[in-house]
Amino acid sequence: MAKNWVEILKSKPAWGIPGEAVTELAALTTAADEAFEQVNSRLRGPFARTKNKEAFAALALKMRAMKDRYFKIPPLAAPDFISLGLRPRDTIRTSHIEVTDLVEFVIVLRYIREINIDFWIKGASHKAKPANHDGAVIIWDVLEKPPVRHDELNRHILATRTPCSLHFAESERGKTAYIAACWQNNRGNTGQWSEIQSAIIP
């Protein structure tokens, strides 16, 4: 499906999808393809399996984000959705599709080059994720100045349990990481982003 998306989006400038988004999708598709080939070769092992899992998780997250951001608005029509391998839009909004809960989290610093995100449902007294949800989408980036918008945070992961650990390079120690989160249900729909928090990378 990802390969099909890349080919279709390259030929559909009228859809108004930014070129950089298509380029990133293509790069993640290539990375997943290469990881899949390696995990099925004689070089397979624990590292290859982990790399393959991470590559496909990143690709799936990007595809869901693109679907939510670009495919659910005009000019896409029902035939366009079908060409992408997706169901045409359902214009009837139902409560079990909506993601209404918010993520609340704290940043915990324990080890060098690592930031832990301890998250839960905002206002809840427990740390279980909402029912019928995959987990929390964590987005972050290391920036020179505070971001104005959430889409300035380009790194992401789907955290299925709390806490979630973010790892950084040695060269990033002492710099500022900016982090936000939202819930994702098992239909791939995401909720409202939390406020952006920050921490100095130890």
Which residues have a Cβ under 8 Å from the Cβ of 81 and sit 6 or more positions away? 71, 87, 88, 89
Distance CA 120, CA 32 (A): 30
Distance CA 10, CA 35 (A): 24
Q: Which residue has the higher pLDDT, 71 or 133?
A: 133
Q: Phi first, then psi: what are they for 154, rounded to 5°?
A: -100, -10
Q: What is the mean pLDDT of residues 88-105?
A: 71
Question: Domain coordinates of the chain in residue numbers?
Answer: 2-83, 103-200
Q: What is the mean pLDDT of residues 95-123?
A: 90
Class level of CATH domain 103-200: mainly beta
- Decide if pLDDT at 96 tops 70: no
Q: Cβ distance 162 to 118 under 8 Å?
A: yes
- Residue 28: band (very low, low, confident or very high) from pLDDT cuts 50, 70, 90: very high
pLDDT for 89 equals 56
Distance CA 63, CA 130 (A): 22
Residues constituting the chain: 202
Q: Is the pTM of this model over 0.75?
A: no
Q: What is the pLDDT of residues 118-177, one digit of tens each?
A: 999 999 988 888 988 999 999 999 999 999 999 999 999 999 999 999 999 999 999 999
